[in-house]
Structure 1
Amino acid sequence: MNAASDRDDTTEPFRVLPVDYAAALADLHAVRDRVFVHEQRVPVELEHDDLDPRCLHVLARALDGEPIGTGRLVPPAHPGAPAQVGRMAVLPQWRGKGVGDALLLALLQQARQRGWHQVTLNAQVTALGFYLRHGFEPRGERFMEAGIEHQAMRRTLAGASAIEDREAAVAVTAALVLAARRGLCFYSRELDPGLLDAPAVLEALRRFGTAGHGGQARILLQDAAAPQRAHAPLLALAQRLPSVFAFREVDDPVDRAYPSAFLANDAGGFYFRGLGHRFDGEADLHAPGRARQLRAAFDRVWERARPIVEYRALGL
């Protein structure tokens, strides 16, 4: 169970520190019971569990000492297993003030100090944006926990995560689109059937296109005709939002021989596939240097690519 704000505009003074569970038990449960048990109606027997005594805990306090936020880190079950973030809770009057960000960063620092390189969590769906911004990637299908819809998420604290199948590819692509501020770059062979036509990705692109922030998704293709022949649903979405989606086809023989495909956003995230016709590759939602490198490579090819004039008949 993780309930956290998705904003970081700190306007009130507070501090976050690691605490001993036995010594801080009353303060930890004062916050968690109010948020989970009373506000979200989680049964108290689910909120209070046997893991607490062996977890690492952090506590946020206002400067007057009032406990205002909590979080815990469950140690790995065995070497190489991930640690798990949980019990992220912030009192209502302190949400939107950066408390959740500070709690999560403190927990990630605890993991790094102990050499734990994989961290997972089960995020309440309403807090997905918050965890996406902190570099967590969705894994698998959503599920119900304590009567609340959740999404399993994972972050690698050292290096990119391996993407091994279509399910992971769809999840990370949707996450990268949702995390974008104003810019997306897609380098694709033929609009990636099975990926860019997946419902979760199309919905993320629709939300990006209708957000009203002046964003643009630029899409480079190696074969412009194939998506038309396949009636790719992204073309229909782009027809409704022509100011958002721009298409070009690579023209230089060197560019046509490029075997890879990638997506990079302007929030420091990327998904790179060494072989563009496959889903396996690597991704990181927070790797500004690598994302900047991919966007720069994209820009160079974009400048010498040809606009897809045949799409204009579709209203694009």
Structure 2
Amino acid sequence: MTSAARSTSGSGSGSGLCEGRVVLVTGAGRGLGRAHALAYAAEGACVVVNDLGVGPDGSGGSGGPAQEVVEEIRAAGGDAVAHGGDIATSEGAASLVRTALDTYGRLDVLVNNAGFLRDRMLVNLDEDAWDAVMRVHLKGHFLPLKHAGAHWRAEAKAGRAPHASVINTSSGAGLLGSVGQGNYSAAKAGILGLTFVAAAELGAYGVRVNAIAPAARTRMTEQTFADTMAAPEDGAFDTMAPENVSPLVVWLGSTASGGVTGRVFEAEAGRITVMEGWRPGPTADKGARWTPSEAGEAALKLLADAEVPQRVYGAR
């Protein structure tokens, strides 16, 4: 279909918040991405389900997980298509956008979610593990955003201003750091910087860009947090279910969140927090160049008046 998104009425028990919108979700074969894809479909969206089907460390690959999510959406009356391209390559990211346009005729939402872990303490972290995590998380956010943004810019210049939304996936590790995850923490912090720049640059074309820092039980977290992320007994609220994060992601991708851009949200269980990043704290201005001793004395006085930073995850 090339002219308009197909109707997905009856694709779930939602309210139709995203009826007719076309959504790309990367890393949507399992975990958070799968939950997001199903939640969007339940609210009436057509979903492009991207996933390479790799292991938690990025090894292997299979088209099965993406296709399984597509079939799950279709079985519920929704509309979805699988995409198995590598979104950390320019061709893969471009083909992701083309899949939405060729299949549904439009693109409204990009959810950047794909990622994996290769955890090591810094002195044991080799270049391959560093590069691999940077590639899938940071480059894997940049390239889909670049190609989707180019499409939306062209639409705006043609007089068809979109009401588009991008939701990037950071982490508490990107906000605070996490022991044993120097590569992952750096990549997730980079995603925050990318989010702020994209929000500023793409706003003129009708595109909003926000980020989430979710906490949920997925393949990437179940070993690290096995004790605290165990599934609850029957009937109890599953605080670490990925599905708890998806309602915020769906709302951010809907037209109901118009005007919300350049923001970062933590989402966990039933809690949503607006994160407030670097802001000027105590300051001193001599009006001239400091000597090293003077600078040190001034810095110590400022630190005494400053807020104590939150601890890095896993720090003792």
TM-score, length-scaled by structure 1: 0.31
Bigger radius of gyration among the two: 1
TM-score, length-scaled by structure 2: 0.31
